[in-house]
């Protein structure tokens, strides 16, 4: 089944006043549906869009998606409210999809609504993973195949590639989908609190402990999925206890004298090479082999350049709804830059760039100027930006290059020095020394 949400073809929009009368439409709408402005302006929207019930037209909700027929074409339409005006965006027309795909799309909308009602903690499915490149399709197919088992999965790949999204999609397709999905960021929990947070603790286990004790993340994930993000940052002592959970399927709380049986699936993720950490004595080899049942390496964005423009339109649609914009096109200059940039932060960085543009864009075209910065794509520009002249000494060149690289890594990591050190491929102690050396804030 193709990823329906990655199909990007906007068939135009209709603008309607508070009385339900059409006051305008986009040029692409007139073109795709072969309708003249004189036959449309002033008409009731109910005469233009035919639905099984008129509720979607009488009381249009913001971000509401519903099926309808326009000029004999079966479509899906999304509504956007702007004060007294309602915009009807035709997001899919049946001609671009097989009937089964159309049904699948409709069912995915129902599943999304059902998730909100049931409070499922798995927010994303494979339909949210945008892309039709061979690299992403292959990994999605493999992930879907192993989703139905209860075996441990190790997700590897660069930061920002969407490892948690894959973890949630695997959970959502598994037999555990009606049970909790519990995410844990191993790098965000201080070492001294890690065991109590993950394994829980009994009453009186330490000073300040709750008198009734507290279940850990493992117990909270009972019958569901425990997602351990950045597992490379797991304290060494805790690695041994996690290994016991994987082997024996039981957990012992901190300060406890007995074990509790647990039925969970563990999905772990890392952007670091665990084999290198094993050689450095920072990661247990026996735990690695327990995690290495299924390894899924999520491709970086630069490994699937054909997905860049579909992904851009996906995020444009997302921010059109969130910010009330009406962007329809990406100018060629921006398309070229998006395709040529290396995207070290992958999809996370990509989304942030699109969001920046969508917050300040004017009109229906997202342009490079909308981003309010000029990307430096060539070495001479980067040299000039660093303030390096060709008469600079080698020490000056190296120093300025290091300062720029450190500042960029810290910015992309939102100030997280551990992550910045990973990006720079240096030890965190080295990063601290360089920050002190150059007196960086």
For 94-151, the pLDDT digits (tens) are: 555 544 444 444 445 444 444 444 434 556 677 778 888 899 989 988 988 888 888 9
Q: Give dist(CA 228, CA 243) in Å, integer.
A: 13
pLDDT band, very low/low/confident/very high, at 395 (cuts 50, 70, 90) = low
Res 190: pLDDT: 80
Domain boundaries, the chain: 4-99, 126-297, 305-367, 379-437
Give tens-digit pLDDT for 28-38.
888 888 888 88
Q: Is CATH 3.30.300.30 the right assignment for the domain spanning 4-99? A: no
Q: How many CA atoms lie within 13 A of 323 on its CB side?
A: 18
Q: Give dist(CA 301, CA 343) in Å, integer.
A: 7
Res 288: pLDDT: 94
Higher pLDDT: 429 or 59? It is: 429
The label of the residue with tokens 């302006």 reads 41
Res 81: pLDDT: 80
Residue 153 CB partners (closer than 8 Å, separation 6+): 146, 167, 170, 265, 266, 267, 268, 293, 294, 295, 296
pLDDT band, very low/low/confident/very high, at 396 (cuts 50, 70, 90) = low
Q: How many CA atoms lie within 13 A of 160 on its CB side?
A: 18
Res 419: pLDDT: 85
Helix/strand/coil (H/E/C) assignment for every residue in the chain? CCCHHHCCCCCCEEEECCCCEEEEECHHHHHHHCCCHHHHCCCEHHHHCECCCCHHHHCCCCCCEEEEEECCEEEEEEEEEECCEEEEEEEEEHHHCCHHHHHHHHHHHHHHHHHHHHCCCCCCCHHHCCCCCHHHHHHHHHHHHHHCCCCCEEEECCCCCCHHHHHHHHHHCCCCCCCCEEEEECCCCCHHHHHHHHHCECCCCCCCCCCCCECCHHHHCCCCEEEEECHHHCCHHHHHHHHHHHHHCEECCECCCCCEECCCEEEEEECCCHHHHHHCCCCCHHHHHHHCCEEEECCCHHHCHHHHHHHHHHHHHHHHHHHCCCCCEECHHHHHHHHHCCCCCHHHHHHHHHHHHHHHCCCCEECHHHHCCCCCCCHHHHHHHCCCCCCCCHHHHHHHHHHHHHHHHHHHCCCCHHHHHHHHCCCHHHHHHHHHHCCCC
Res 3: pLDDT: 42
pLDDT band, very low/low/confident/very high, at 61 (cuts 50, 70, 90) = low
How far separated are the first and last CA of the chain, in Å rounded?
50
Res 259: pLDDT: 84
pLDDT > 70: what percent of the chain?
A: 80
As beta bridge partners, residue 330 has: 366
CATH class of 126-297: alpha beta
Contact 231, 240 (CB under 8 A): no
For domain 305-367, which architecture applies?
Orthogonal Bundle (1.10)
pLDDT band, very low/low/confident/very high, at 403 (cuts 50, 70, 90) = confident
pTM tops 0.75, yes or no: no
The mean-pLDDT minimum among 108-112, 313-317, 339-343 falls in 108-112
The mean-pLDDT minimum among 199-203, 223-227, 277-281 falls in 199-203
Higher pLDDT: 126 or 310? It is: 310
Higher pLDDT: 336 or 254? It is: 336
Residue 278 has pLDDT above 50, yes or no: yes
Res 220: pLDDT: 92
Average pLDDT, the chain: 80
Contact 154, 291 (CB under 8 A): yes
Contact 129, 143 (CB under 8 A): no
pLDDT band, very low/low/confident/very high, at 283 (cuts 50, 70, 90) = very high
Res 350: pLDDT: 92
Q: Give dist(CA 174, CA 168) in Å, integer.
A: 10
Res 156: pLDDT: 95
Q: Give dist(CA 202, CA 227) in Å, integer.
A: 23
4-99 against 305-367: fold identical:
no
pLDDT band, very low/low/confident/very high, at 422 (cuts 50, 70, 90) = confident
Structure tokens at 187: 């790098």
Res 122: pLDDT: 56
Among 371, 343, 374, 377, CA closest to 355: 371
Most confident of 73-87, 110-124, 256-270: 256-270
Among 233, 300, 221, CA closest to 266: 221
pLDDT band, very low/low/confident/very high, at 228 (cuts 50, 70, 90) = very high
């Amino acid at each position: 089944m193709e990823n329906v949400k990655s199909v990007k073809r906007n068939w135009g929009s209709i603008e309607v006043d508070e009385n339900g009368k059409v006051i305008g439409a986009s040029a692409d709408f007139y073109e795709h549906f072969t309708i003249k402005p004189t036959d449309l302006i002033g008409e009731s929207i109910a005469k233009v869009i035919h639905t099984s019930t008129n509720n979607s037209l009488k009381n249009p909700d913001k971000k509401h998606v519903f099926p309808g027929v326009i000029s004999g074409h079966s479509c899906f339409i999304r509504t956007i409210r702007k004060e007294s005006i309602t915009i009807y965006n035709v997001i899919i027309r049946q001609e671009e999809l097989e009937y089964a795909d159309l049904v699948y799309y409709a069912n995915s909308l129902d599943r999304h609504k059902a998730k909100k009602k049931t409070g499922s903690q798995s927010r994303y499915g494979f339909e949210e993973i945008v892309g039709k490149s061979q690299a992403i399709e292959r990994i999605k197919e493999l992930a879907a195949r192993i989703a139905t088992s209860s075996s441990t999965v190790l997700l590897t790949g660069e930061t920002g590639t969407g490892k948690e999204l894959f973890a949630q999609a695997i959970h959502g397709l598994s037999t555990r989908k009606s049970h909790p999905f519990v995410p844990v960021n191993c790098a965000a929990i201080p070492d001294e609190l890690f065991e109590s947070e993950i394994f829980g603790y009994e009453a009186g286990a330490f000073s300040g402990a709750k008198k009734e004790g507290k279940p850990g993340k493992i117990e909270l994930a009972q019958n569901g999925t425990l997602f351990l993000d950045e597992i490379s940052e797991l304290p060494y002592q805790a690695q041994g206890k996690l290994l016991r959970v994987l082997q024996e399927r039981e957990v012992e709380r901190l300060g406890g004298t007995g074990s509790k049986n647990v039925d969970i699936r563990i999905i772990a993720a890392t952007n670091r090479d665990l084999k290198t950490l094993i050689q450095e004595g920072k990661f247990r080899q026996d735990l690695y082999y327990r995690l290495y049942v299924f390894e899924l390496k999520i491709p970086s964005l630069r490994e699937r350049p054909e997905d860049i423009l579909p992904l851009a339109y996906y995020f444009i649609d997302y921010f059109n709804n969130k910010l009330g914009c009406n962007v329809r096109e990406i100018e060629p200059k921006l398309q070229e830059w998006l395709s040529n940039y290396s995207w070290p932060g992958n999809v996370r960085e990509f989304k942030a760039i699109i969001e920046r543009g969508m917050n300040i864009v004017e009109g229906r075209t997202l342009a490079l100027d909308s981003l309010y910065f000029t990307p430096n794509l060539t070495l001479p520009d980067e040299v000039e930006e660093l303030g390096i002249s060709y008469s600079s000494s080698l020490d000056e060149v190296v120093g300025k290059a290091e300062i720029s690289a450190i500042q960029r890594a810290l910015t992309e990591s939102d100030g997280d020095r551990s992550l910045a050190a990973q990006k720079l491929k240096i030890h965190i102690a080295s990063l601290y020394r360089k920050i002190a050396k150059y007196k960086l804030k």
